[in-house]
Structure 1
């Protein structure tokens, strides 16, 4: 077994690998970019070496630099994690040439399966069913459009070297083909350095089911059952679960054997995933093979009682697989939710900022969870960030993976709903509330699954904004008054002096207070401002807001936790202040209430209108408008790229483009005006 390995990745997968290596007595070396100098994965490894600037292409994607660090630190092997160089065959070969073990499949297997087109040709030879499409080398736009017309719409365009939903477009009409192709190729070259695409029939209501395979150097290959990854947005997975609901033993065996055959056909070694697209009638088609560990591998670990990273290390060291196919039974049900810094109400735009507060549900980190052969931990969290860390624009905006286990799917669903209710983050927008609606929604809870589930249920998943409940307003008011009282007492030389405190005492009168709180509806487009009236009396306060007129008292307070009684109703919550915003967590929901302090904002003026702004920090990749151009509502004006995803800024109404402020290739800050626009 190895004594030291280098982890050529960052974030939660680097922390995950480090945890398993530590348990096995293996030392670890981290590599990091300038943006990651204070990151969690640097802290948890035994050594850490700077390899370059923040941009991945100048740090995590520079293979020769990583190999040099491995040689200099005495590492015997390199674990690539997922993403970055994990599926780079040339890097795997370079490791071997340097005398280092690449903890993954050989370069030949990656080359065979790394290209979606080549993989489909290989599967066709092996008689594995394929979705109708074009997977050839010819790439001129006119020919590709002819293929799309031949296949029949809707057509799915995919980057041949792609993954993670990047470089994918669904085209509904022939006239939209060329524009979608250009966008797809731009994203593909940016993400993978290769703009080759393939086209195939886009199936309606398909399920995305993948099989985890594992092979060693002794000729053994097994499948660790399946995962259902149907719940997606922008072709990126949101929820994953294992086993797949409704999977029969016969179908599981057929798909598992097909996946093992695919792995053996290319001389595969290590962890891999064979992905299938399945119709509702049970028929399935080969989609692609990911020649690495997947982000969603924890659900497989939870139901099989395995540590797949440990398997990777043992197989890479020349050992046999720890288990045979007969020993890989399914125990219970597991669901994984990806907690992202993004805003679902704004098209899932990435959110950049600092994790000012992060309180996770009662959970264990991987190395403490469960025992082989026993029941896993009910809740597990894999994360590469800590409270106080920043989510930057340079990398994937994942905050954590929340994984739950239950004896059956019903119990797993209940545990996931509860865990999401307890997951509290302040400092940037997240998808937690969206995930909770998704898990509790009728479609997912009843296992009515397909890759269009989110779009199909958008009405319930993106409900119309509701005003903050009175209980949340009361908790925010109590937190504000309590904070002012504490500051006043701390500043007073005599805390008992009634003239020097902010408890609300008045001589021969009642102290009345009007608080203005604005509810931003959890970053939705609408806002509502409330006038919260408070009248002090010796036993507490009297509150008036939104038609409610009731006595208010604090029954318990410990840190940010607050319990109050409003009339005859008891309310409990957690309140965190971030600047002027009071983040209230109560009843499994999160409310962001801004305190409008007129003294704090005196003299401020509104920003000038008429300028369309960047929705996030990123790079301008296309400019379709010119100064003096008349445009119609919805016309694409500028395309930006952030975190390797494209975002189109469109005209909000008919009007005139007065000035274009940025050109292709320019880096733009969040909120920066992109062009001057005059509505018609």
Structure 2
């Protein structure tokens, strides 16, 4: 086994590798950018080396600096994590040339599987089923369009050199092809430095099923069963589970054998994932192979009881696989939810900002093996625009899928993140949909269930208002005097005292009245309705409310004027307005075209003088490695473009000026 390894990555995967290495007695070296100087992965490693600026191209993609850091610290091996350089054959070869062990497959395997078109040809020779498509080297746009017409719409355009949903577009009709191809190529060149694409038939109602494979340097290769990753947005996974619901033992063995054949075809070593598109009736087709550990590997660990990072280290050190195929077993069911800084109601736009609150599930009934949180950030940390939007992974395990679903629901309920938009509430709704609950899975599940997923109300006003009142009273109670005459809670010797709360919720303003009666009881008047209220608080952030006899448990966190409220039925973000502080403030300007997040301006889709209509695409930005199209907020005429292509723009920056049409 190695004595010291360098982790050429950041975030939760770097923390994960460090934890396993520590358990095996292996020392670790972290690398970090300007943006990550105080990051968790830096803190948990034994040593850390600064490698450059915050943008990945200035730090985590600078493999020469990473190799220099490894050599300077005496590391024997490099673990690439996932993303960044993990599937870069040039980096893997450079490690070998420098006398370092690359904890992953050989460069030849990365190269063979890294180009989707080349990998499809290899898989065809190995007898692995393929989706009909075009995987050729000729990238002439006219030829690509003819190939799409030959295959028949709908088709899927995919970046040949990448993964993770980047450089991928579904095209439903011929007239959409040219624009989709241009967008794919832009995103591919920005993400992977290669704009080559391939075209495949777009399978209707497909399931995304992947097989975890592992090979060693002694010629053995096994599969550790499957994961269903069908629930996706923008071709990126949202919920993953193992084993795949409805998978028969025969089909599992067939897919496992195909995955092992794919791995052996390229002399694979280490952890890898062979991804398949599966039709509802069971036929499956090779999609791609990820030559690295996957984000969703914890669900495989949960059902097999194996530490896949430990397997990686042992195999890279020259040891044989810890288990043979016939020795592998699976037990129970596991589900992973990706907690991301993004706004589902805003088209899943990524969000940036500080994690003012980050509290994970701590239910007394949980065992360590039941609920797992993998995260590279914590409370107080910043989510920057430079890296992926994932905050954490929440993994649950149960004896059955039904138990895992119930545990996922309570765990998401008890996950409280404040300070920026997240998808936590969306994930909870997604897992509760009829389609997911009944395992009616395909990659269009989110679109099919959008009525249940979007535009859903949060906590009722009365419950949210009562929670804000409880938080305020608890906060005031920590500084109250025992002398009733010195208290600030409106105590009266005789009669009732009334107090007014000005609250904003979901864009609407509400005036809520709290009455404190001489006998000590409380009542709340919300939208003209009087509600009896009793409060039992445990500290500032935990409250048990009794509203007209209905008991409700809530958690509250105040950041500035906003109080985030979390309850069993959802959450709410309430602004407690200080009327005096805001006296004289006017309304904000509307109708401007502004950047919804920090990022790079990729394209303007209109020029000065153009007449545009509301909802028309006007600009394209790149943030967190994805392209985002920004549309006109109203009808008008483009008066002036305020940036040039390639500029970095800040959150809320005005991109162009619109004036009303004459």
Q: What's the TM-score bracket when you normalise by the shorter of the two chains? A: over 0.9
Residue 184 and residue 51 in structure 1: after superposition, are their counterparts in 2 closer, same or farther (change >3 A)?
same
Task: Identify the match of residue 372 of structure 2 among 362, 376, 380.
Answer: 380
Residue 422 of structure 1: how far off its partner (Å): 0.7
Whole-Å separation in 2 of the counterparts to 1:467 and 1:81: 39
Q: Which position in structure 2 is the counterpart of 1:432?
A: 424
Q: Which position in structure 2 is the counterpart of 1:635?
A: 616
Residue 501 of structure 1: how far off its partner (Å): 2.9
Q: Which position in structure 1 is the counterpart of 2:488?
A: 502
Q: Which position in structure 1 is the counterpart of 2:463?
A: 471
Q: Which position in structure 2 is the counterpart of 1:300?
A: 300
The question of whether the paired residues in 2 share the 8 Å contact of 1:159 and 1:168 is answered with yes
Q: Which position in structure 1 is the counterpart of 2:607?
A: 626
The question of whether the paired residues in 1 share the 8 Å contact of 2:484 and 2:491 is answered with no
Q: Which position in structure 2 is the counterpart of 1:678?
A: 659
Whole-Å separation in 2 of the counterparts to 1:189 and 1:344: 26
Task: Identify the match of residue 412 of structure 1 among 395, 404, 408.
Answer: 404
Task: Identify the match of residue 581 of structure 2 among 578, 591, 600.
Answer: 600
Q: Which position in structure 2 is the counterpart of 1:532?
A: 512
Whole-Å separation in 2 of the counterparts to 1:342 and 1:466: 17
Whole-Å separation in 2 of the counterparts to 1:572 and 1:266: 56
Cα displacement string for residues 406-451 of structure 1 (whole angstroms, at most 9, x for unaligned residues)? 1111111111111111111111111011101111111001000001
Number of positions where the alignment pairs a residue of Structure 1 with one of Structure 2 = 659
The question of whether the paired residues in 1 share the 8 Å contact of 2:205 and 2:280 is answered with yes
Whole-Å separation in 2 of the counterparts to 1:502 and 1:649: 49
553-562 or 664-673: bigger deviation: 553-562
Residue 178 of structure 1: how far off its partner (Å): 1.0
The question of whether the paired residues in 1 share the 8 Å contact of 2:534 and 2:546 is answered with yes
Q: Which position in structure 1 is the counterpart of 2:188?
A: 188
Q: Which position in structure 1 is the counterpart of 2:204?
A: 204
Q: Which position in structure 2 is the counterpart of 1:561?
A: 542
Task: Identify the match of residue 552 of structure 2 among 554, 557, 571.
Answer: 571
After superposition, where does 1:255-274 map in structure 2 within 5 Å? 255-274=255-274
Residue 319 of structure 1: how far off its partner (Å): 0.2
Q: Which position in structure 2 is the counterpart of 1:516?
A: 502
After superposition, where does 1:192-271 map in structure 2 within 5 Å? 192-271=192-271
542-551 or 355-364: bigger deviation: 355-364
Residue 191 of structure 1: how far off its partner (Å): 0.7
Residue 530 of structure 1: how far off its partner (Å): 1.8
Residue 475 of structure 1: how far off its partner (Å): 1.2
Residue 467 and residue 76 in structure 1: after superposition, are their counterparts in 2 closer, same or farther (change >3 A)?
closer
The question of whether the paired residues in 1 share the 8 Å contact of 2:345 and 2:455 is answered with no
Q: Tell me, what secondary structure is at the counterpart of 1:184? A: helix
Residue 90 of structure 1: how far off its partner (Å): 0.6
Task: Identify the match of residue 543 of structure 1 among 524, 537, 543.
Answer: 524
The question of whether the paired residues in 2 share the 8 Å contact of 1:363 and 1:379 is answered with no
Residue 529 of structure 1: how far off its partner (Å): 2.1
Q: Which position in structure 2 is the counterpart of 1:614?
A: 595
Q: Which position in structure 2 is the counterpart of 1:175?
A: 175
Residue 129 of structure 1: how far off its partner (Å): 1.6
Q: Which position in structure 2 is the counterpart of 1:587?
A: 568
**1:312 partnered with 2:304:** no
Q: Which position in structure 2 is the counterpart of 1:647?
A: 628
After superposition, where does 1:327-346 map in structure 2 within 5 Å? 327-346=327-346
Residue 540 and residue 406 in structure 1: after superposition, are their counterparts in 2 closer, same or farther (change >3 A)?
same
Cα displacement string for residues 187-229 of structure 1 (whole angstroms, at most 9, x for unaligned residues)? 1111111111111111110000010000000011000011101
Whole-Å separation in 2 of the counterparts to 1:497 and 1:412: 51
Q: Which position in structure 2 is the counterpart of 1:42?
A: 42
The question of whether the paired residues in 1 share the 8 Å contact of 2:612 and 2:636 is answered with yes
Residue 126 of structure 1: how far off its partner (Å): 1.7
Whole-Å separation in 1 of the counterparts to 2:363 and 2:495: 51
Residue 85 and residue 466 in structure 1: after superposition, are their counterparts in 2 closer, same or farther (change >3 A)?
closer
Whole-Å separation in 1 of the counterparts to 2:330 and 2:484: 68
Q: Which position in structure 2 is the counterpart of 1:20?
A: 20
Task: Identify the match of residue 454 of structure 1 among 423, 442, 446.
Answer: 446
Whole-Å separation in 1 of the counterparts to 2:80 and 2:600: 27
Whole-Å separation in 1 of the counterparts to 2:406 and 2:161: 38
Q: Tell me, what secondary structure is at the counterpart of 1:438? A: helix
Q: Tell me, what secondary structure is at the counterpart of 1:104? A: coil
Residue 541 of structure 1: how far off its partner (Å): 2.4
Q: Which position in structure 1 is the counterpart of 2:131?
A: 131
Whole-Å separation in 1 of the counterparts to 2:344 and 2:526: 30
Whole-Å separation in 2 of the counterparts to 1:611 and 1:346: 17
Q: Tell me, what secondary structure is at the counterpart of 1:169? A: strand
Q: Tell me, what secondary structure is at the counterpart of 1:481? A: helix
Residue 410 and residue 676 in structure 1: after superposition, are their counterparts in 2 closer, same or farther (change >3 A)?
same
Q: What is the TM-score when the length of structure 1 is the normalising length?
A: 0.94
The question of whether the paired residues in 1 share the 8 Å contact of 2:475 and 2:540 is answered with no
After superposition, where does 1:99-114 map in structure 2 within 5 Å? 99-114=99-114
Aligned alpha-carbon RMSD (Å): 1.7
Runs of 5+ unmatched residues, structure 2: none
Whole-Å separation in 1 of the counterparts to 2:66 and 2:564: 42
Residue 646 of structure 1: how far off its partner (Å): 0.9
Whole-Å separation in 2 of the counterparts to 1:98 and 1:282: 46
Residue 588 of structure 1: how far off its partner (Å): 4.5
Q: Which position in structure 2 is the counterpart of 1:391?
A: 383
Cα displacement string for residues 606-656 of structure 1 (whole angstroms, at most 9, x for unaligned residues)? 333331111111111001222221112332111111011111111233321
Whole-Å separation in 1 of the counterparts to 2:248 and 2:547: 52
Residue 482 of structure 1: how far off its partner (Å): 3.4
Q: Which position in structure 2 is the counterpart of 1:524?
A: none
The question of whether the paired residues in 2 share the 8 Å contact of 1:362 and 1:379 is answered with no
The question of whether the paired residues in 2 share the 8 Å contact of 1:517 and 1:594 is answered with yes
Cα displacement string for residues 496-521 of structure 1 (whole angstroms, at most 9, x for unaligned residues)? 262x431103476633222121112x
569-578 or 155-164: bigger deviation: 569-578
213-222 or 143-152: bigger deviation: 143-152
Cα displacement string for residues 284-330 of structure 1 (whole angstroms, at most 9, x for unaligned residues)? 00100000000000000111110000000000000000000011111
Q: Tell me, what secondary structure is at the counterpart of 2:339? A: strand
Whole-Å separation in 1 of the counterparts to 2:78 and 2:521: 62
Whole-Å separation in 1 of the counterparts to 2:598 and 2:529: 42
Whole-Å separation in 1 of the counterparts to 2:569 and 2:30: 37
Cα displacement string for residues 428-486 of structure 1 (whole angstroms, at most 9, x for unaligned residues)? 11101110111111100100000111011111111444673412211112212332454
Q: What is the TM-score when the length of structure 2 is the normalising length?
A: 0.97
